[in-house]
Amino acid sequence: PNAQLEQISSMTSSMASADVVAKRAFLSLLALQDPKPQPKAAQAPKVSSELKTKAEWREQGILLSSDGFYCWVCNAGPSGEANMQQHVDSAQHKRRLVLAGIKQDSTILPPVPKEYEDRGISISPTKDGTLQYTCKLCKAGPFPTLESVKSHLGGSKHSLKEGREPELSLSTELAKEGFVLVEGQPGQLHCERCSAGPFDRQGLRQHRLSLQHREAEVNSEMDE
């Protein structure tokens, strides 16, 4: 019986050793098929084109709220992304950006010519914060365009502030009497009925009182 027990013990030990070897071989095979992942080099985070677009919008006064996009420059919104893109591309928005001093564009707000600057015209912020042409001498404005500034400079208020006679303008009454503006000579009138002129303010007064102009006016009324 002792011999049989020794034989059984030896067989059991051999089977255990074989089992350990088999397990080690199996684990080695798994390691070859599924190697441990190697750490990768750190990469800079990518910024999507959408985030870049929104950053550009922020520079133009566009803000994103829970209910959509708002433009604080134009006081517009809320709006979806597509509609806000149309707003950003609009001429109105671009003009307001310039008037708000956020961007510069000489086609929207041309600089003040030196001759206008010498007469008191400047670009100044108005009560609502937008940039417009104003007249320091008359404390007048704002004027939206240089053309409106030109009209102001030729008006009686500004002329009197400068201590000179206002430039002549062609009124309806003067036009009926046959007077026309002289091209290239602001504040000068020509009388077509009498083929006379050009006249400044004082010369105009004298010509309207003259016998020549009165006769021409009477003849014109008779022809009508």
- pLDDT tens profile 79-130: 888 888 888 888 888 888 888 888 877 777 888 999 999 999 998 887 777 7
**For the whole model, what pTM was predicted?**
0.46
The closest of 105, 133, 106, 130 to 117, measured between CA atoms, is 133
* Torsion sign over Cα 31, 37, 39, 40: positive
**3-state secondary structure (DSSP) of residue 218:** helix
Q: What integer pLDDT is reported at residue 105 of this predicted model?
A: 76
Three-class secondary structure of residue 130 per DSSP: coil
pLDDT for position 122: 92
pLDDT score of 43: 47
DSSP reduced 3-state for 91: helix
